[in-house]
Amino acid sequence: MQITPKLTNVEMSIFSVMSALANKHNAINLSQGFPNFKSDQKLIDAVSKAMNSGYNQYAPMAGLLELRQAIAKKFELLYNTFYHPETEITVTAGATQAIFTIISTFVKSSDEVIIFKPAYDCYQPAIELNGGKTVAIALEAPNYKIDWNKVEQKINSKTKMIIVNTPHNPSGTMMNKNDMLKLQELTNNTNIIVLSDEVYEHIIFDGEQHQSICQFSELKKRSFITASFGKTFHNTGWKIGYCCAPKELMEVFRNVHQFNVFSVHHPTQKGLADYIQNPNHYLELSDFYQQKRDTFLNLIKGSRFKFTPSKGTYFQVLDYSEITNKYDVEFAKQLTINNGIASIPLSVFNDNHRDDKMLRFCFAKTNKTLEQAAKILNTI
């Protein structure tokens, strides 16, 4: 039997590689992006209550209406904009599923999709599985700013989609208002769809404001927003998120979503619907994670690593160029095996594995873990 895979040259995910190494060598794992502390017991209790109250059969395909209504209220509160809960919001099995389904819905053979690298690793495989061509534009370290002149040069009649991510994983940077206005200008009067990955929207530091795609009227008309409850509420294993888009785009998305996932875990949706009635449950996250970022950076300020404080997400990029010239993947493995601390090398997110001597560390950890990690980093 001859097998011809649609997706070729696929290596094991760097997240799996580094976590396996961390487990093997009993290293502190700051590589994968998940907390090592519990989510709020009130949320866990709300989901348990939903199970015991009978929310155990299929939810509606688009998601529990109560949850979609709560999401719509959140957008009104934070961004002074409206998505109709019945026609413009869909609950998904995490943001990655939403991203995959959006790409599968619209991208076909010969279509081009612009992404910005370093980029989260699910974008390009989804594009290629659907026959599209990835057009990657490099973000230069250490600021990782978008060069909009390069974007303008890459846009052509084959450009079907542009994917943006803010706050940005893996760099921890953010797009500003001028970035959004430029994106709006370049896509106006085109058929280009914008996919805005905003899973870290509630983790913003130093008084900055998240610039959501929905705040820009012309952009909103052509855009999807993807979001993650798992990232927000410290329960990534629940795999639940959502996406928002204008009715005409969402209708087409749901045509694919219904055959891909159909519906998402019902009791979790009910628990979340009740939990986010209190906006403080997501409004307090920025302060919570800024304290962790500041704790981590204060602990390593005497190390040989260089850094610009992360503006958002729960990741901090560290520049090790003054320590060694080793390739970042090699150095990350060395730190895991010999020093007992695991990170993610940024070259794996870059075109041609460009090595900027940067490692990504997750600070969504207990203070005890951060103190232990800093003690190691300070000896390197």
Q: Tell me, what CATH number does 25's domain have?
A: 3.90.1150.10
End of a domain among 266, 281, 296? 281
Q: Taking Cα atoms as reference points, which of 347, 96, 356, 71 lies closest to residue 212?
A: 71
Residue 4 lies in a domain: no
Are 310 and 189 members of one domain? no
Domain that holds residue 263: 42-281
What's this model's pTM, rounded to 2 decimal places? Answer: 0.96
Q: What is the pLDDT of residue 11?
A: 75
Residues 322, 266 share a domain:
no
Task: Give the Cα separation of 372 and 305 in Å (integer).
Answer: 16
- Give the mean model confidence (pLDDT) for residues 93-115: 97
Degrees to nearest 5, angle at CA 365 with 359 and 366: 140
Per-residue pLDDT at 279 exceeds 80: yes
**Which 8-state DSSP code applies to residue 359?**
E
Same-domain check for residues 213 and 66: yes
Residue 160 tokens, joined: 């079907």
- Of 4-18, 138-152, 229-243, 248-262, minimum mean pLDDT range: 4-18
Out of 225, 255, 281, a domain closes at 281
Degrees, nearest 5: CA angle 356-24-31: 35
pLDDT of residue 13: 85
Contact between 248 and 222 under an 8 Å Cβ cutoff? The reply is no
Instruction: Summarize the confidence of residues 99-127 as an average pLDDT.
Output: 96
> What does the block give as tokens for 40?
């709020």
**pLDDT greater than 90 at residue 8:** no
Residue 6 lies in a domain: no
Higher pLDDT, 34 or 331: 331
Confidence at residue 34, expressed as pLDDT on a 0 to 100 scale: 87
Q: How confident is the model at residue 238 (pLDDT cuts 50, 70, 90)?
A: very high
Instruction: For residues 226 and 341, state if they share a domain.
Output: no
d(CA 212, CA 88): 16
DSSP string for 144-175? ----HHHHHHH--TTEEEEEEESS-TTT----
Instruction: Judge whether 201 and 282 are in contact, CB under 8 Å.
Output: no
Same domain, 372 and 301: yes
Predicted local distance difference test score (pLDDT) of residue 4? 82
Residues 308, 242, single domain; the answer is no
C-alpha–C-alpha distance, residues 100 and 132, integer Å: 13
Q: Kindly tell me if the per-residue pLDDT of 9 is higher than 80.
A: no
For 96, list phi and psi in degrees, rounded to 5: -60, -40
Per the structure, the count of domains in the chain is: 2
**Residue 28 domain-assigned (yes or no):** yes
What is the three-state SS of 200-249? CCCCECCCCCCCCHHHCHHHHCCEEEEEEHHHHCCCHHHCCEEEECCHHH
* Tokens read off for 314: 């729960």
* The predicted structure's pLDDT at residue 91: 98
- 147 with 250, same domain: the answer is yes
Q: What angle do CA 173, 358, 118 make, to 5 degrees?
A: 55
pLDDT of residue 6: 84
* Rounded mean pLDDT, 152-166: 98
Same domain, 219 and 72: yes
pLDDT of residue 316: 98
- CATH for 207: 3.40.640.10
Phi then psi dihedrals of residue 376, to 5 deg: -70, -50
Answer yes or no: is 110 within a domain. yes
Is 240 found in the same domain as 271?
yes
d(CA 36, CA 255): 37
Q: Is residue 362 part of a domain?
A: yes
Does pLDDT of 10 surpass 90? no
Q: What is the pLDDT of residues 170-191, one digit of tens each?
A: 999 999 999 999 999 999 999 9
Residues paired with residue 342 on neighbouring β-strands, in sequence order: 29
52 and 132 in a single domain? The answer is yes
pLDDT average, residue stretch 308-326: 98
Sign, Cα dihedral of 362, 368, 369, 370: positive
- Say if residue 193 is in the same domain as residue 337: no
Percent of the chain residues past pLDDT 90, beyond the cut: 94
- 19 versus 5: which is more confidently predicted? 19
Mean pLDDT over the full length of the chain: 96
Of 254, 281, 308, the one marking the end of a domain is 281
Q: Where are the beta strands (DSSP E) in the chain?
A: 28-29, 89-92, 112-117, 133-138, 159-165, 193-197, 223-228, 241-244, 315-319, 341-342, 344-345, 358-362
Is beta strand 223-228 parallel, antiparallel or unpaired with respect to 193-197? parallel
Tell me: do 277 and 339 sit in the same domain: no
d(CA 299, CA 282): 27
